[in-house]
């Protein structure tokens, strides 16, 4: 369902603070003034799955995923694909909307994966080739435990939405894609919490390129359980150094595979 902002705000006014202020997930998407409803684990699945307005893969619970090897690292559990796609032009922002996100510590990343054969519903999300287009970590010190991360900065506690805008690279080849937003929360020592959600996009525009192979990752696969940025005790250090897992962002311009010149 695509609705305008005034209508959505009227609808949202009917909601109150979620009963369970623990964990959470990506509730809505916006492109320009248009809002898209995501899956809501608090509502009956039967009223949502397969509905013509659904654009997000099903996430049945607000609980995190704890293992980088979990097959639901790709698109949460159970990840049932939606029938519809969010239309967006390369170069535009897609904004992910959370309500009362409460964890303060850890990085956030956004990923895309191209869907071959003009269909994202048949794609095996574990075999999809994801590339990172956005990331944010610690914004200011004094250290990892007490500093301000984007994850904390984007939160509001006044009932207004927590907005996370990400630009689709303008050079990207048009087509159907999955978008994967992930919040990694590391506020508990050596017990990372992953919160991934996926939606389906119909990207238009004048771009022509996809990223080279070295940017393509799988979930599971992109992360190592022993990565010091994942298996981490943020309270045991006094540093601001943190490497966001998953490798570099594809900037939309690096299009020649440096290991494969001329191939
Ligand atoms: Cu939580």
Point out the residues of the chain with pLDDT beneath 70. 1-21, 254-263
In the beta sheet, which residues pair with residue 148?
Answer: 140
The whole-number pLDDT of residue 106 equals: 98
CA of 103 to the centre of ligand 1 (A): 6
Of 9, 1, 26, 4, give the one whose Cα is nearest residue 199: 26
| Cα distance between residue 24 and residue 146, in whole Å | 22
Which tokens is 73 given?
């690292």
Q: What is the pTM of this model?
A: 0.90
The whole-number pLDDT of residue 255 equals: 63
CA of 24 to the centre of ligand 1 (A): 6
pLDDT in tens, 24-66: 999 999 999 999 999 999 999 999 999 999 999 999 999 999 9
CA of 46 to the centre of ligand 1 (A): 26
CA of 62 to the centre of ligand 1 (A): 8
Distances (CA, A) of 49 to 85, 113, 145, 194: 14, 22, 39, 23
| Cα distance between residue 150 and residue 147, in whole Å | 10
CA of 55 to the centre of ligand 1 (A): 24
Domain 2-236 part of CATH 2.70.50.70: yes
CA of 65 to the centre of ligand 1 (A): 10
Which tokens is 204 given?
């238009």
The whole-number pLDDT of residue 21 equals: 53
Query: What ranges make up the beta strands (E) of the chain?
Result: 2-3, 28-31, 34-37, 86-89, 93-98, 108-114, 130-136, 138-140, 148-149, 162-167, 175-185, 193-204
Q: Which residues surround ligand 1, an ion (CB under 5 A)?
A: 23
CA of 187 to the centre of ligand 1 (A): 9
Domain locations along the chain: 2-236
CA of 25 to the centre of ligand 1 (A): 9
Phi, psi of 118, rounded to the nearest 5 degrees: 55, 40
């Amino acid at each position: 369902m695509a609705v305008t902002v005034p209508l959505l705000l009227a609808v949202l006014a009917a909601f109150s603070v979620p009963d369970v202020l623990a964990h959470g997930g990506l509730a809505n998407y916006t492109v320009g003034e248009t809002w898209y409803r995501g899956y809501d684990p608090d509502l009956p699945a039967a009223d949502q799955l397969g509905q013509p307005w659904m654009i997000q893969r099903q996430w049945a619970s607000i609980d995190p995923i704890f293992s980088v090897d979990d097959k639901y690292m790709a698109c949460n559990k159970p990840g049932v694909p939606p029938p519809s796609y969010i239309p967006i032009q390369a170069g535009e922002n897609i904004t992910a909307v959370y309500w009362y996100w409460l964890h303060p510590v850890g990085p956030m990343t956004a990923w895309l994966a191209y869907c071959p054969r003009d269909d994202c519903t048949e794609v095996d999300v574990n075999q999809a080739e994801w590339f990172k287009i956005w990331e944010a970590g610690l914004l200011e010190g004094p250290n990892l435990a007490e500093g301000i991360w984007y994850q904390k900065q984007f939160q509001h506690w006044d009932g207004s939405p927590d907005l996370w805008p990400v630009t689709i690279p303008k050079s990207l080849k048009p087509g159907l894609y999955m978008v994967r937003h992930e919040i990694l929360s590391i506020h508990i020592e050596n017990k990372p919490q992953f919160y991934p959600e996926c939606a389906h996009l119909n990207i238009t525009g004048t771009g022509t390129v996809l990223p080279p192979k070295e940017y393509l990752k799988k979930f599971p696969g992109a992360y190592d359980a022993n990565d010091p940025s994942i298996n981490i005790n943020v309270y045991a250090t006094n540093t601001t150094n943190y490497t966001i897992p998953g490798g570099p962002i594809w900037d939309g311009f690096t299009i020649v595979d440096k290991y494969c010149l001329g191939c």
